Amino acid sequence: MAKDSIDELMSIGIDIGKDTFHIVAFDPDGQLVMRKQIKRLALVATFEKLPRCVVGMEACLSAHFVSRTLRKMGFEPRIIPAIYVKPFTKGQKNDYNDAEAIAEAALRPNLPVVPEKSQEQLDLQALHRVRSRLVSRRTATINQIRAFLIEQGITVRKGLRALKNSFETILEERKDEISPRMRTILIGLYGDWLWLDDRIETVSKEIELISRTEENCVNVMTIPGIGPMISTAMVAAIGTGEAFGRGRDFAAWVGLVPRQFSTGGRTVLGRITKRGSRYLRMLFVQAAKVILMRTNRWPDFSFGDWLAKAAERMNRNKLAVALANKLARMAWSILRNKTAFDANRDEIAIGV
């Protein structure tokens, strides 16, 4: 259909690809009035000719860039998780059917959408993803060094530091057991390890610097067990937390709530869902385990009594997840309300 014949639109769905976009549009009567494929560079020129309306797109690479571009043009973009688009798909899977499903999903009033990220959030998120990849690569390198040493009949006790402290000694004292070629391979891997250490330290320092200058991060870091990594990762993921109505919703998004198998009025709870951000979930659980190791500090926390009672009835792993859930909910509350942890408690203590 010619563009000049489209006077009013109800919704547009965009299936975002690497080089091309597939666009489907509905008019106010719910009739399909446009199916079109465009090049990525033609996005602005194409939408300038269309009536302003709701524009849906799946959460994927460049979705936030497209959303910001269309918002500046006067459209109402909505970034939708792919899991919520799938029920609207009809027929076989292809780009046009996907775009049509997105356009229909975008009009559902109660459908959760992904908050649009600013460029600063994307930059911070990129730093965390780079660091995560480097840490994973370093772990793989260390495991490969251990595997090659075991093949030579040499074992080293667990721990990164133990291997690093004994590596040169092993090469010197066991040189008769290690072939010259294997020695060269191990030295090369050790060099990769040291380079990765330097890169990880550089990225970590940059993240720590941001955490000290960003007000929201400073507030979140007042919670016990939470430092620069969790605070910056949380701000990068959810901004000020306005996408969630309460801390329980954020904890559910992180995947720290029990999975439900409820029916007929009977509630059955299982293991945690592990949905949402795997990276944030890992960080919160690590923070909880750090707190659990320092039992002498529990009385200093406002949740110390709860933690002591929970420790009597839960095993260690379950307690760590329960505490991680509580930390996530407190972190959301502090982020949303722009306050510090136990701020009211401190004011009462000093008579303010």
309 and 247 in a common domain: yes
- Encoded tokens for 171: 């090469």
> What does the alpha-carbon distance between residue 335 and residue 349 come to, in Å, rounded to a whole number?
23
CATH at residue 78: 3.30.420.140
In a domain, 160, yes or no: yes
Q: Of 213, 229, 247, which marks where a domain is finished? A: 213
Q: Residue 351's pLDDT is what?
A: 31
219 and 342 in a common domain: yes
Q: What is the gyration radius of the CA atoms in the chain, in angstroms?
A: 26
Q: Residue 5's pLDDT is what?
A: 52
232 and 243 in a common domain: yes
Q: Of 146, 179, 213, which marks where a domain is finished? A: 213
Contact 107, 11 (CB under 8 A): yes
> What does the alpha-carbon distance between residue 34 and residue 55 come to, in Å, rounded to a whole number?
13
Contact 196, 141 (CB under 8 A): yes
Closest by CA to 1, choosing from 27, 20, 21, is 27
Q: How many domains does the chain have?
A: 3
In a domain, 1, yes or no: no
In a domain, 326, yes or no: yes
207 and 244 in a common domain: no
Does the pLDDT of residue 267 top 60, yes or no?
yes
268 and 190 in a common domain: no
312 and 267 in a common domain: yes
Q: pLDDT tens digits for 67-84?
A: 999 999 999 999 999 989
144 and 94 in a common domain: no
Question: What's the gap between Cα 342 and its chain centre?
Answer: 26
Domain span including residue 51: 6-105
In a domain, 110, yes or no: no
Confidence band, pLDDT 50/70/90 cuts, at residue 109: confident
In a domain, 114, yes or no: no
136 and 13 in a common domain: no
- Encoded tokens for 51: 């009536």
In a domain, 330, yes or no: yes
Q: Of 188, 213, 238, which marks where a domain is finished? A: 213
In a domain, 59, yes or no: yes
Does the pLDDT of residue 292 top 50, yes or no?
yes
344 and 219 in a common domain: yes
Q: Residue 263's pLDDT is what?
A: 80
Beta bridge partners of 201: none
Q: pLDDT tens digits for 193-241?
A: 999 999 999 999 999 999 999 999 999 999 999 999 999 999 999 999 9
Q: What's the angle, vertex CA 51, arms to CA 100 and CA 111, rounded to 5?
A: 45
* DSSP helix/strand/coil, 38: strand
- Which is more confident, 194 or 342? 194
Does the pLDDT of residue 347 top 90, yes or no?
no
> What does the alpha-carbon distance between residue 222 and residue 101 come to, in Å, rounded to a whole number?
43
Mean pLDDT of 180-185: 94
The residue type of 124 is L
159 and 197 in a common domain: yes
Confidence band, pLDDT 50/70/90 cuts, at residue 167: very high
321 and 234 in a common domain: yes
In a domain, 111, yes or no: no
Mean pLDDT of 291-314: 92
Mean pLDDT of 167-178: 89
> What does the alpha-carbon distance between residue 24 and residue 81 come to, in Å, rounded to a whole number?
18
Confidence band, pLDDT 50/70/90 cuts, at residue 271: confident
Q: Residue 265's pLDDT is what?
A: 79
Does the pLDDT of residue 305 top 60, yes or no?
yes
164 and 75 in a common domain: no
H or E stretch covering 25: strand 20-26
